[in-house]
Amino acid sequence: MKITINSPLDMHLHLRDEDMLKVVAPLSSKDFTAAIIMPNLLPPVTTIQDVKAYKQRIKDAIGDDNFEPLMTLFFKDNYDYEFLKEAKEYISAIKLYPAGITTNSEGGVSSVDASSLAPTLKAMSELEIPLCIHGESDGFVMDREKEFVPVYEHLATAFPKLKIIMEHITTKDSVDALKRHDNLYATITLHHLYITLDDVAGGMLQPHLFCKPIAKRPEDKEALLQVALEANPKVMFGSDSAPHPKTAKEAPGCAAGVFTAPIALPALAQLFDKHGKLENLQAFISDNAQKIYNFKPLKKDITLKKEEFEVPANYNNVVPMFAGEKLSWKVL
């Protein structure tokens, strides 16, 4: 059995920089047509110059034109209309981080408040620049996303024309919120469709499955699975693939992030196949995103076959999800 995905898209991707960029960028460009590139470098991507230079470094790391990095700016509340109008030509979205909430987010906003952020959000709304948000409070780890839902809803109501992407949602609360507002959308990762907190800390501790937002409860995973498998038009695939060196993941104080980019397509095919929903994979992994972001990606077909694929133990010392395990689908 085979399936061909037209223009697979990864709508939330960390490519990092320098040596790590050179390791991981080709692994994404191999399987995907385009990806929304996260701007949380050190320092973050906040100027048009930064965007252009980072895009060039990505293209250099890949070495061909068969993959389109969809660039983002790191949200700052001093971005004004004139700046954004110019920036629009170079970016696909702007990513907002509450300060300190995840890797390299120290320069994020100290309070996600519709009135203090109004000038920038109003300009983004007028210019039709989507706003991507890492939506977590600074509360108890299992409550952070739930506590952020009212913020999403407040912004969605205050800026009804602004497309707001709830990034890497992990809870039933978020799925429910998504359905209440026309202008709320979401990315869903591969790993949150597969794991709960049990897989991270229920048996032995598994640092390679430790991520932010942390994997939640079984009923949360079920809610995510439901909208992903039905390819609900409000959701799209975004891996949040976040590479860290093996040594950084396997030490105390392990960094957050699951590395899924090189195994995402076969693992998604396996999951949709298992649930008898292969016919919805195209929409989840490409068509929905094209509609939400209103763009036409490069044409690139990726064919997968139902055949055993043993996931490598690591890619240049970056350990992927399912390392050493067997998946039932492989990319041809």
- The CB-of-202 to its own copies minimum distance in angstroms stands at 4
**By C-beta, is 93 or 211 nearer to its own copies?**
211
Q: Of the candidates 154, 149, 193, which has an alpha carbon nearest to the alpha carbon of residue 175?
A: 149
- Contact status: 13 vs its own copies (CB under 8 A): no
How far, in Å, CA of 289 to CA of 310, rounded? 29
Q: How far apart are CA 181 and CA 85, in angstroms?
A: 26
Binding its own copies by CB under 8 A: which of 62, 200, 264, 267? Answer: 200
Task: Enter the tokens of residue 3.
Answer: 């399936």
Q: How many other C-beta atoms lie within 10 A of the C-beta of residue 243?
A: 28
d(CA 75, CA 55): 17
Closest separation between CB of residue 192 and its own copies, Å? Answer: 15
**Residue closer to its own copies (CB basis): 6 or 103:** 103
Report if residue 150 touches its own copies, rule: CB under 8 A. no
Interface pick for its own copies out of 6, 104, 137, 206 (rule CB under 8 A): 206
> Which residue bears the tokens 């790191």?
74
Q: Token pair of 167, please?
A: 């990034």
Q: Which stretch binds its own copies (CB under 8 A): 175-183, 198-206, 224-232, 263-271?
A: 198-206
Cβ 215 vs Cβ 196: under 8 Å: yes
Residue list 35-64, contact with its own copies (CB under 8 A): none
Contact in structure between 289 and 281 (CB atoms under 8 Å): no
List 64, 240, 287, 301, catalytic entry: 240
Q: Which of 62, 190, 214, 311 binds its own copies (CB under 8 A)?
A: 214
Are the CB atoms for 145 and 174 separated by under 8 Å? yes
Pick the closer one to its own copies by CB: 57 or 208.
208
CA atoms within 13 A of residue 207's CA, in its CB half-sphere: 15
Instruction: Respond yes or no: is residue 287 known to be catalytic.
Output: no
Interface mask (CB under 8 A) for its own copies, residues 220-249, using x and -? -----------------------------x
Contact residues for its own copies, defined by CB under 8 A:
140-142, 196-198, 200-202, 204-208, 210, 214, 217-218, 249-256
Give catalytic residues, as residue numbers: 240
